[in-house]
Structure 1
Amino acid sequence: MWISREIWQSRLRWNNMWEKQQGQICPEVLYEEGKDGVTILGCKSVDGILILPDEICGRAVTSVKAYAFSSWQAGKDSRIWRNPQNWKEEGVHPVFGEEVREVWLPASVSHLGRYAFYRCKNLKKLTLSDRLQEVGGGVFTGCAPEKIEIYHWEGEKNCLKSIVDEVRFSIDATLVYDTKEVQGRARVLFPEHYEEAVENTPARLLFTRHHGSGGYYRQCFYDRTLDYGKYDLAFFHAKAEEERKTTVKLAVNRLRFPFRLGEEAKKMYTVFVKEKFEQGIQMMLERADIDGIRFLIREIQPGEEALAAAVRLAGDYRLPEAAGYLLEEKRKQTKGSRLQERFSL
């Protein structure tokens, strides 16, 4: 489907978080032109972080060719675009396969070709928009992206269902909504899952055994839209089948970014994180996420013993800012307890 330059530029104005700095965009892009827009064939850069331009020569980039990031595909019909603010000859080379680590797709890409990231085994993060509703078959064969970030300007539909169906490993997805009807941010975790064929030899039967709760979470979609109510109900399975680190991360994500989070689900997650407060703090310390620590203290309101344990953990991780904040919260709580005792007397 053709999209005008004015339409996609208006989308970018709706959400300035998408804005790409010209100096960050790939120095050189291999492309071809079609009637509906520009197709990316590959790119050159100095490292594995690939930020692709939203337009080339005044035309919106609408598709990525099959195998685009798995091999270099220069041909007789291909053209070269060079970034006037970031092009340099030294160190610039074709980036594909194992070298690819992060990819930020153009805003108007509506087609991602088959096996686009074939054997990009070090791909960790992919950023895209809701313009992309489906991904080609085998797109993530030979790779396992850990983070997906999707920006919504038209509604709540996206290609996340296609992605998590392609990848059986754990995926941490951030969904940013900035439409005329809906604004907000969600962060949702899809745990790992896999299926195993098991033979019952005496009965001559073959049945499928499912491992991990990720299969339940991958069923929480309807018409390319994530059903957050159904997603929260799957937490029952996660608690039974996942490691504690995974369930704590899942619960904290939903509390911290409570898009379409119902009251009952909020209570469920809050009780769970309060019980596993130390693991929650440890997760934030591993990320050096001071804002996340502040959120947990504010949301969970832990007792003195839990705060004391958190202070010790911050010391172990050698994070003075976190330790200082936790010590101050402990001091406030201790002072409050003493005042309460004084009034009781």
Structure 2
Amino acid sequence: MEICVYYEKINEDSIRINRVYSTCPTIEIPECIDGYMVREIADYCFSSKEVDLSKTILSHEIPSNYHVCSGNDVESVKLGRNVKKIGDYAFYNCRKLKEIYVPSSLMNIGSDVFMNCLRLNHIYYDCSIFSETILKQILIQITWDVEVDFIDGSIFYPEYIGGYDEVGPAHIFALNIEGEGFRMRQCFKDGKVDFDGYDACFEKLCVEESESCIFHVAILRLMMGSEQYIPYLRAHDLTSYLLLYKDICGMVGKLIDEKCIDKNELDELISKEIDLEVRTILMELKNKMFSLSSTYSFEDF
């Protein structure tokens, strides 16, 4: 989807994007505009707050059917691979923003970038899950449920609630945190995900969180090869939650390999799946991985 932007020069070869126009709520920022590398996203860039564009440059004339991409008109944003910085409040009040694609080149993130972006539940990185990133700095600003997808794995961070409670007559306050999601967000070493620390949170997570949240953590770590979560997955019938995932077929195959799903549970999953292509793949999985295959009638479709 082509976009039109206002930008300002940072130096001879780099620019900062100040405003974006398009016909679609799904935005893709190119690596270069007008021969300049897009290095930064300016303060309030996608916010509905008015910004001063008097000293900026328009990439090309805005077509009549384009509109400013801000606030509720933004649902998905993919940043170019050259972006190094996101400015303060860049996505402030983008209440319909669901996903953002950030490059491994990102080195700096401003204050309250995702304030009130409560539907933002997916972050996509263009690098390995074992790479050094600024994910920790990003997660500090997202207290609600969010899944982070890398090119070779995914990890889920549950919601947590934080606030200050008055503990003394002299207006002395103490930070009160509820939810293991906060501690999980601290599990980084030298910019890399600390999987040992993350996994150590699971026992307490099982006491505090909902079954769907626990399953989300467990299934993604299982897909990464962690055997710690197999006992939990074997002990619970969680097949209904699988219907929420895009990679359901890959997950089912892994769960069958680890004896976390039996034939009856797979039958139940097949009966609930509404996508014909996915149902067909699940049927093939059943026939391949269980010795007793079933015969399906046309009513199954």
How far off its partner does 1:206 sit?
A: 5.8
Conserved? CA contact 1:29–1:81, under 8 Å: yes
Instruction: Tell me how far apart the structure 1 counterparts of residues 47 and 263 of structure 2 sit (CA, whole Å).
Output: 49
Which is helix-richer, 1 or 2? 1
Conserved? CA contact 2:131–2:192, under 8 Å: yes
How far off its partner does 1:298 sit?
A: 4.0
Q: Which residue of 1 aligns with 2:299?
A: none
What TM-score results when the alignment is normalised by the length of structure 1? 0.74
Say which SS state the counterpart of residue 44 (structure 1) adopts.
Answer: strand
Instruction: Tell me how far apart the structure 2 counterparts of residues 97 and 317 of structure 1 sit (CA, whole Å).
Output: 35
Taking a change above 3 Å as real, the CA distance of residues 274 and 108 of structure 1, as seen in their structure-2 partners, is same
Say which SS state the counterpart of residue 19 (structure 2) adopts.
Answer: strand
One of 140, 162, 172 as aligned partner of 2:114: 140
Taking a change above 3 Å as real, the CA distance of residues 119 and 328 of structure 1, as seen in their structure-2 partners, is closer
Say which SS state the counterpart of residue 72 (structure 2) adopts.
Answer: helix
Q: Which residue of 2 aligns with 1:126?
A: 100
Whichever residue aligns with residue 309 of structure 1, its letter is: E
Taking a change above 3 Å as real, the CA distance of residues 323 and 152 of structure 1, as seen in their structure-2 partners, is closer
One of 207, 217, 229 as aligned partner of 1:269: 229
One of 50, 75, 84 as aligned partner of 1:101: 75
Instruction: Tell me how far apart the structure 2 counterparts of residues 257 and 44 of structure 1 sit (CA, whole Å).
Output: 39
Instruction: Tell me how far apart the structure 2 counterparts of residues 288 and 54 of structure 1 sit (CA, whole Å).
Output: 28
Conserved? CA contact 1:127–1:149, under 8 Å: yes
Instruction: Tell me how far apart the structure 2 counterparts of residues 328 and 39 of structure 1 sit (CA, whole Å).
Output: 50
Q: Which residue of 2 aligns with 1:18?
A: none
Pairing 1:164–2:139 present:
yes
Instruction: Tell me how far apart the structure 1 counterparts of residues 290 and 257 of structure 2 sit (CA, whole Å).
Output: 15
Instruction: Tell me how far apart the structure 2 counterparts of residues 283 and 120 of structure 1 sit (CA, whole Å).
Output: 28
Q: Which residue of 1 aligns with 2:40?
A: 63
Taking a change above 3 Å as real, the CA distance of residues 67 and 302 of structure 1, as seen in their structure-2 partners, is closer
Q: Which residue of 2 aligns with 1:296?
A: 254
Q: Which residue of 2 aligns with 1:17?
A: none
Structure number, greater radius of gyration: 1
Taking a change above 3 Å as real, the CA distance of residues 209 and 148 of structure 1, as seen in their structure-2 partners, is same
Conserved? CA contact 1:69–1:96, under 8 Å: yes
Whichever residue aligns with residue 257 of structure 1, its letter is: M
Conserved? CA contact 1:307–1:326, under 8 Å: no
Conserved? CA contact 2:233–2:260, under 8 Å: no
Instruction: Tell me how far apart the structure 2 counterparts of residues 66 and 166 of structure 1 sit (CA, whole Å).
Output: 16
Conserved? CA contact 1:133–1:157, under 8 Å: no
What TM-score results when the alignment is normalised by the length of structure 2? 0.84
Conserved? CA contact 1:308–1:330, under 8 Å: no
Pairing 1:28–2:4 present:
yes
Taking a change above 3 Å as real, the CA distance of residues 208 and 325 of structure 1, as seen in their structure-2 partners, is same
Q: Which residue of 2 aligns with 1:149?
A: 124
Deviations 1:243-278, CA, capped at 9 Å, x for gaps: 1111111111112134xxxxxxx22112222223x3
Q: Which residue of 1 aligns with 2:57?
A: 79
Whichever residue aligns with residue 78 of structure 2, its letter is: W
Deviations 1:26-76, CA, capped at 9 Å, x for gaps: 321111112161110111111211101111122211111111111353623
Pairing 1:37–2:14 present:
yes
How far off its partner does 1:323 sit?
A: 4.2
Taking a change above 3 Å as real, the CA distance of residues 282 and 293 of structure 1, as seen in their structure-2 partners, is farther
Instruction: Tell me how far apart the structure 2 counterparts of residues 239 and 250 of structure 1 sit (CA, whole Å).
Output: 10
Q: Which residue of 2 aligns with 1:51?
A: 28
Pairing 1:222–2:172 present:
no
Q: Which residue of 2 aligns with 1:246?
A: 213
Whichever residue aligns with residue 318 of structure 1, its letter is: I
One of 267, 271, 283 as aligned partner of 2:241: 283
How far off its partner does 1:81 sit?
A: 1.7
Percent of pairs with identical residues: 23
One of 191, 196, 221 as aligned partner of 2:158: 191
How far off its partner does 1:91 sit?
A: 2.4
Q: Which segments of 5 or more consecutive residues in structure 1 lack a partner in the other structure?
A: 1-23, 177-184, 259-265, 337-345
Conserved? CA contact 2:165–2:174, under 8 Å: yes
Q: Which residue of 1 aligns with 2:290?
A: 333
Deviations 1:111-159, CA, capped at 9 Å, x for gaps: 1111111111111111111211231011111213211112238x82212
